[in-house]
């Protein structure tokens, strides 16, 4: 019997129970395929290469795939662009790729509004991706309503909301959104959120688009109540970027790498038992009650860069007039 993506600790004997659930379908799939690169039933993968990016589309085709992946049936498109971490001039290229992919998922352009939700906490940098994308985005729905002649066929009606997080507002996020959906009656939601990565290398360099909405997972801040077609009554497209890593994942990566080193060098690989892992976590994270989530020290700049790319991608995907050459005039 195969393991689900939420329980993938067996990569290395003795480390079971150690893996967090994975936010990126791409990472879950890769871990399940393992070193042998075996096929996973009910799941397909497609890879395309661009100049500065690789696009991996994971399609979970049926319930078998959903079960093993620990994620709903649907498409999960990940744009991997490691160079954006240091090269701001790739903004146009990567945002155009995001726009193209997003447009393929979105319903056809029309006069019905799109609701952009920026999940997360404006006052906690690694969790501020959603609110930042909202800040960069120019809402147009009210202009379309009050002065339609200004927009004609150039701009689509979009409205935005950054509902905050339970820990700051004392209000459940999904409930705020439901109230707005009931009033605005948008044709769909685009929800942007910060994710947790299973590898340090991915932080702030992968963008995942999913047509399945936001579903319970680890996320940044344990705030990921379901925001999907089932709870909202309209299609929900999720855009997520890993901005944090659990310290326990770093420890897991280190121990896995140690085992790999021993294996490669022909040494007898000693057993690393679950008890050992518990001991290590307990000792290192005592003053954090055993759980600590970290982010790169450059996180402010990383969030700013990638939030601009996402806002630029969304603007190009939803507005007829906006493209790769002029998008910078249509974001804040």
Chain residues 187-226 in contact with its own copies, contact rule CB under 8 A: 199-201, 205, 220-221
Could you tell me whether strands 158-161 and 54-60 are parallel, antiparallel, or unpaired per DSSP bridges? unpaired
The size of the interface with its own copies (CB under 8 A), counted in residues, is 90
Name residues contacting its own copies, limited to 43-82 (CB under 8 A).
82
Q: Of the two residues 43 and 245, which places its CB atom closer to its own copies in the complex?
A: 245
- The enclosing H or E element of 258 equals helix 247-264
Q: Does 91 bind its own copies (CB under 8 A)?
A: yes
Least distance (Å) between residue 210 CB and its own copies: 22
Whether 88 contacts 300, CB under 8 Å: no
Least distance (Å) between residue 166 CB and its own copies: 5
3-state SS class at 322: coil
Least distance (Å) between residue 143 CB and its own copies: 8
Q: Alpha-carbon distance 155 to 318, whole Å?
A: 8
Q: Does 124 bind its own copies (CB under 8 A)?
A: yes
Q: Does 164 bind its own copies (CB under 8 A)?
A: yes
Least distance (Å) between residue 60 CB and its own copies: 27
Least distance (Å) between residue 218 CB and its own copies: 12
Q: Does 295 bind its own copies (CB under 8 A)?
A: yes
DSSP state of 239: E
45 forms bridges with which residues in the sheet? 58
Per-position x/- string for 224-263, each x denoting binding to its own copies as judged by CB under 8 A, each - no binding: --------------------xx-x--xx-xxx-xx-xxx-
> Does the CA dihedral 124-129-130-136 come out positive or negative?
positive
* Identified binder of its own copies from the candidate list 7, 175, 263, 274, rule CB under 8 A: 175
3-state SS class at 318: helix
Residue 258 neighbours by CB distance under 10 Å: 14
User: Dihedral through CA 171, CA 173, CA 176, CA 179, nearest 10?
Assistant: -130
Q: From the CA atom positions of the chain, what is the Rg in Å?
A: 21
Q: Of the two residues 90 and 102, which places its CB atom closer to its own copies in the complex?
A: 90
* Identified binder of its own copies from the candidate list 23, 27, 127, 193, rule CB under 8 A: 127
């Amino acid at each position: 019997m195969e393991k689900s993506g939420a329980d993938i600790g067996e990569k290395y004997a003795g480390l079971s129970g150690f893996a967090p659930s994975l936010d990126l379908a791409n990472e879950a799939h890769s871990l399940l395929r393992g070193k042998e690169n075996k096929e996973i039933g009910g799941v397909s993968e497609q890879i395309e290469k661009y100049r500065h990016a690789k696009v991996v589309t994971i399609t979970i085709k049926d319930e078998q795939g959903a079960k093993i992946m620990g994620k709903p049936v649907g498409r999960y498109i990940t744009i991997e662009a490691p160079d954006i971490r240091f090269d701001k001039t790739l903004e146009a290229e990567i945002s155009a790729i995001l726009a193209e992919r997003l447009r393929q998922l979105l319903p056809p352009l029309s006069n019905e509004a799109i609701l952009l939700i920026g999940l997360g906490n404006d006052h906690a940098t690694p969790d501020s991706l959603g609110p930042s994308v909202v800040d960069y985005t120019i809402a147009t729905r009210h202009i379309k309503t009050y002065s339609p002649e200004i927009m004609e066929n150039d701009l689509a009606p979009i409205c935005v909301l950054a509902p905050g997080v339970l820990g700051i507002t004392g209000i459940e996020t999904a409930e705020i959104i439901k109230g707005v959906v009931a009033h605005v009656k948008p044709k769909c939601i685009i929800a942007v959120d910060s994710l947790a990565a299973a590898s340090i290398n991915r932080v702030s360099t992968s963008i995942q688009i999913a047509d399945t909405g936001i579903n319970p997972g680890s996320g940044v801040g344990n705030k990921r109540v379901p925001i999907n077609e089932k709870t909202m009554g309209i299609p929900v497209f999720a855009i997520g970027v890993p901005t944090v890593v659990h310290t326990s994942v770093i420890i897991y990566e280190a121990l896995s790498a140690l085992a790999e080193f021993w294996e490669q060098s022909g040494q007898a690989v000693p057993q690393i038992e679950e008890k050992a892992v518990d001991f290590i976590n307990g000792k290192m994270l005592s003053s954090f009650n055993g759980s600590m989530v970290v982010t790169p020290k450059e996180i402010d700049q990383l969030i700013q860069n990638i939030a601009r790319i996402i806002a630029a991608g969304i603007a190009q995907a939803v507005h007829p007039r906006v493209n790769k050459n002029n998008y910078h005039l249509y974001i804040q």
